[in-house]
A and B are shown apart, each in its own frame.
Chain A
Amino acid sequence: MKNLRELLGESDLSRPRIVLAILTGSASLGSAVGLSAVAAWLIARAAGMPSPADLALAAVVVRFFGIGRGLFRYLERLVSHDAALRGVVALRARIYDRLAAARADTVLSLSRGDTLARIGADVDAVGDAVVRGVIPLGVAVVVSCIAVGINGWMDPLAGIILAIALLASALGAAGLTWRSARLAAEFSVMADARVSEAVVSNLESAPEHRVWGTEAAARTALADADAESVIAQERSARPAAFAAGLQTLCAGAALIGSLWVAVTGAAAGDYGPTTAAIIALLPLAAFEAVNAVPGAVTQLFRSNKAATRIVELAPRPRTDLPADARVQQSTTTPEVVLDGVSAAWPGMTPTRPLDVTLKPGESLAVVGRSGVGKTTLLATIAGALKPAAGGVRIGGIEASRDMLGTVVAMTAEDAHVFGTSLVENLRVARGDLTDEQALDALDLVGLTSWVQSLPDGIETLLGTGGNSVSGGERRRLLLARAVLGSQRIVLIDEPAEHLDTAGRQALEAVLAHLRADGRTVVIVTHHLEFSAHTDHVRTLDD
């Protein structure tokens, strides 16, 4: 729970709001307890056939509780969701800050896999810990105390019986549920992996299985994996079923105990019929809050898992390590020296060593087949990744993370097109960009006619929820971005396939433009023909 606590602590959760949510939630469930107690009193009193006026107040109170339950529940849900949402917003901003401040290699590696896609859901899960975990637990404690207080005030023994039953129900269910969640998490990792493997085998290799007549075998493999997953789920569900049974048992035991105390107490003349009725009937309403414990515990378990993933992805900035220092942007282009440099992400085969010296304004094309590590090499030249061997010197200094974004700009193959306007997507490279400059850059990459075809020109929304951008247009948009940046060294990662004529022309125009500007360019590409447009060519293929 450490990670969840850490993140909840960082999400600026307002304590008063949480307390208010717990109080309104308790008022809601407390209304149900109160309704049950006052109604029991009312019936018991009425049985003595008093004048109807004696019942008037109780009748009003019963109705009040009848309304209070729904009303307070509505308030509680609003307050708790508001508190949680504020927390989620703060947490999201905090995580963004953390990631933005993280080391360049951490950030660049984020685009690999679906880590970033998952982070939104994980942050929401941390917020759910408040609404569905912390607050129901708080309400359960408060409401249980109220119920025990009422019965204990009437008869201490009744209070003790109710307290023991509530405690056993809450703690037992919490423990069993936690165990169930842990078992499920453990087993499901293995079982889920086998199921996904079998699913992929069945789907992607279906043609192969058809040709070889192995469809039945593949299907049996899936059925086996499924059966294993069913067994794993059954095993983890066992404690949860015990928890449900235990809660029913505790509520029933409290009912039997209270009835016994009430009837014997009344028979002994310790108290009158109204007290006896309250003692006997209160347990019927007292357990609703405690019955929410398993759900709350499950939510806390889930939220904690999400919190762990977030903390791993965006660890708290370490104060003992210097953050990426900002190197001053310069207006002169430094010399770039690749000295036997070879690149690899951890666990990858290093690329072939490269030697080349790029004088200011010169360009280099790195050619190689897909998967050979061209993109990794770019990250290394950018200083984001330590070389596997050899070194990169920029302006005589060892390339470091600090240079990415200041001296060096990189356009990745999978660079992001933001869900905002076309011109804002270009301002990503330069904040003070004017419309004219934007149009010039778009013209350079041959997108003028495309822009003219867009409904709102450069103000047209792109990406999610906006106009869709084809692969070729996207590439050229990214090239325009590369031109607009102020960094003196530009690294361009060209996609492997489908470079159409327009894309080729755009790339040539961009190379010419950057050369005229005196900037140094490194481009990695599939297509040998670009070597004609660069000063140096190196290949990564054996």
Chain B
Amino acid sequence: MRPLDPRLAGRIGPARRYIVTTALMGLATAIVIGVQALVLARALAPVLAPEPLNADGLGPLGFLVPLEVRQLSVALAWLAVLVLIRVMLTWVQERLAHRAGAQVISELRENVVAHAAALGPRWVASGEGAAVATTVTRGLESLMPYFVRYLPQLLLSATVTPIMLVVVLGLDWISALIVIGTLPLVPIFMILIGLVTRERSAKHLDAMQRLAARTLDLIAGLPTLRALGRERGPATRVRELGDAQRRATMGSLRIAFMSGMALELLTTLAVALVAVTLGFRLVEGQVSIETALAVLILAPEVYLPLRMVGTHFHASADGLAAADAAFDVLERPLPAAGGTVAAPDLDGATLVVEDLAVGTPDGRRLAPGRLSFIARPGTVTALVGPNGDGKSTALAAVMGLLPADSGYVAALVPTDRSDTGRVDAADVDAEGWSTQFAWAPQRPDVTPETRTLSLGQRQRIALDRALASQRPVLVLDEPTAHLDRASREEVVAQIVAAARAGATVLVATHEHDVIDAADSVVDVVALEVAR
């Protein structure tokens, strides 16, 4: 997996800004660390040197830190300033990281939700769509550790490591050679170990997941076992499965930790080699004490970001997987919504539904299956039939909210010459068509604030909104489901009154009162798909 998803930087503004500022802060951190090492070397050198120091022992980099730093008081002042700068950098970086993480998550969430909503009700109701809500809430949260922990270290390894290397090179090319020689070994060894152990660790991982799933399966089935009086037996099975899982996990960990060991081993051993080489060359007088100290202090800093990247690797995997899931939704192409023709005015128009069929998400049934009816202005048309046979889906298709798998929805629009023109809903501008319907859905939202109300109250509000809207077509989905007798009669009267005032009324219902009041009744029947 790539360490940094280019789509994050490319499409999410806060992510891009964060990456740039973090890289700049990394640069500043690198400079502070480098100067701090030089100051320490300058300050300690007079103590360690057998005779008073005269020449600048830091070579070409000596100009960075004046010779006065060899006096303790000056060195301490320099260090104090450097430490304060580092504290500030750390604090700012940490604040920025949390803020950027939260902003990226919000922006990604809003984009994904908007896109998923545009993908249409059928996709939202499908398995993938149902997972979107989880992805954008709990799933995206794992981006936080990615932004706060992993990404800064990744950027530090791209800034601090090379800069430190340059500093070491400026001080002592032999030590730099050792570092340059070992640095590429880190990724090479990790890749090699990964390649060699891939098959074994995949096998272990597989076994591990299977065993974990089976243990959870037993726990999930506990109510079932209890209902059958058989809950005592599997306890030993849980223990056995757990032990098997532990063995499989340890098998995989023994391999997985090896690359971590290679990383630690190479980096620390390289530091040790640098120290030992410096020591012997110091004896020979080939290197100055100031340089030796500075290199000794800097050598571990070269490797530190790399090691931290390794430490926070799991944070990266989770975060990137979450981002991946989000971008998968974003990259799903939007369905072509309707046509380009301006939607006709549905006031006074007759709606014609012919052979309408929509497949269920599992593809086993057509609900509705081959539905045909005509809804005239000024009349009430009731759609009846068992639950799940497609009444609500038929209404959604009529409103142009989802495409039909076969059949069509059309409007017969009165024209000037006492004639009518037929307009197919699939050809017209979807928004212009949909917004002429006054819809009271079964589980209305109305506004997000009303979500705290009970379903019955929400339905009432949605119904009032529909009746008061003056839109030409009223679409009511089980408007009387949660009402008592008195309110039911009132609603039926309102529906009839709306029709008499010229509206085209479509009602999906089980209620006899509503069916009796309807001018025509249509049976909605689902069809099994022959397999």
Write the residues of chain A forming the contact surface with B, with a CB cutoff of 8 angstroms: 28, 31-32, 35-36, 39-40, 42-52, 55, 58-59, 62-63, 65-67, 69-71, 73-74, 77-78, 81-82, 85-86, 88-90, 92-93, 95-97, 99-100, 104, 107-108, 110-111, 116-117, 119-120, 192, 195-215, 217-219, 221-223, 226-227, 229-230, 233-234, 237-238, 240-242, 244-245, 247-249, 252-253, 255-256, 259-260, 262-264, 266-267, 273, 276-277, 280-281, 284-285, 370, 382, 404-406, 409-412, 415-416, 418-420, 428-429, 431, 463-465, 481, 485, 487, 496-498
Contact = CB atoms under 8 A, between A and B. Distances in A.
Interface string B92-120: 01110011011100100110011011101
B204 to A, nearest CB: 13
A278 to B, nearest CB: 11
Contact of A71 (B48, B137, B261): B261
A465 B465 CA distance: 49
Contacts of A485: 228-229
Contact of B86 (A86, A208, A248, A465): A248
Contact of B445 (A39, A205, A419): A205
A197 B82 CA distance: 48
Given A211-B401, A263-B44, 16 more contacts: A55-B280, A58-B279, A77-B260, A196-B133, A197-B451, A202-B117, A210-B434, A230-B102, A259-B40, A262-B44, A277-B47, A418-B218, A420-B214, A429-B228, A431-B233, A497-B386
Contacts of B40: 255, 259, 280-281
Contact of B91 (A44, A88, A196, A241): A241
Nearest to B216: A120
Nearest to A99: B222
Contacts of A196: 133, 137
Contacts of B91: 241-242, 244-245
Find the residue from B109, B272, B283 having the highest chain A CB count within 10 A: B272
Contacts of A35: 268, 271-272, 275
B269 A67 contact: yes
A207 B238 contact: no
B90 interface: yes
B27 to A, nearest CB: 17
Given A116-B220, A206-B121, A237-B94, A89 B245 contact: yes
Interface of B: 40, 43-44, 47-50, 72, 75-76, 79-80, 82-84, 86-88, 90-91, 93-95, 98-99, 101-103, 106, 109-110, 113-114, 116-118, 120-121, 124, 129, 132-133, 136-137, 144, 210, 212-235, 238-239, 242-243, 245-246, 249-250, 253-254, 257-258, 260-266, 268-273, 275-276, 278-280, 282-283, 285, 289, 292-293, 296-297, 300, 386-388, 396, 399, 401-402, 431, 434-435, 437, 439, 441, 443-449, 451, 465
B47 A55 contact: no
Contacts of A219: 110, 113-114
Contacts of B223: 107-108, 110-111, 412, 416
B285 A49 contact: yes
**When A and B form their complex, which 6 residue pairs have the shortest distance between CB atoms, in order from nearest?**
A405-B229, A66-B272, A252-B83, A89-B242, A70-B265, A205-B445
Given A59-B276, A59-B279, A96-B222, A405 B227 contact: yes
Contacts of A99: 219, 222
A404 B76 contact: no
A77 B230 contact: no
A35 to B, nearest CB: 6
Given A203-B113, A259-B79, A208 B445 contact: yes
Nearest to A110: B223
Contact of A481 (B79, B228, B388, B465): B228
11 contacts: A110-B222, A200-B451, A203-B116, A205-B444, A207-B121, A214-B447, A233-B101, A237-B99, A248-B83, A429-B228, A465-B213
Interface SS majority for chain A: helix
Contact of A240 (B94, B99, B388, B448): B94
A207 B279 contact: no
Contact of B48 (A43, A59, A96, A253): A43
Given A59-B276, A211-B437, A108 B296 contact: no
Contacts of B113: 199, 202-203, 219, 222
Contacts of B47: 262-263, 266-267, 273, 276-277
B264 A117 contact: no
Contact of A416 (B221, B235, B282, B388): B221
Nearest to B234: A96
A42 B224 contact: no
Nearest to B253: A81
B282 A43 contact: yes
A118 to B, nearest CB: 10
Contact of B94 (A207, A241, A404): A241
Contacts of B260: 73-74, 77
B246 A89 contact: yes
A45 B110 CA distance: 63
A63 B246 contact: no
B50 A93 contact: no
A89 B215 CA distance: 10
A45 B222 CA distance: 69
Find the residue from A31, A71, A284 having the highest chain B CB count within 10 A: A284
B440 to A, nearest CB: 9
A229 B101 CA distance: 12
A421 to B, nearest CB: 12
Contacts of B86: 248, 252
B79 A70 contact: no
A479 B29 CA distance: 68
Nearest to A292: B311
Contacts of B278: 43, 46
Nearest to A200: B133
A107 B219 CA distance: 11
A234 B98 contact: yes
Contact of B224 (A70, A199, A206, A415): A415
B439 A280 contact: no
Contacts of A241: 91, 94-95, 98
Given A100-B231, A108-B226, A245-B90, A230 B279 contact: no
A487 B214 CA distance: 27
A370 B435 CA distance: 33
Contacts of A431: 230, 233
A201 B445 contact: yes
Contact of A213 (B50, B227, B435): B435
B89 to A, nearest CB: 8
B276 A49 contact: no
A242 B445 CA distance: 43
B258 A74 contact: yes
Given A39-B275, A86-B246, A93-B238, A465 B283 contact: no
Contacts of B276: 42, 59, 62-63
B83 A249 contact: yes
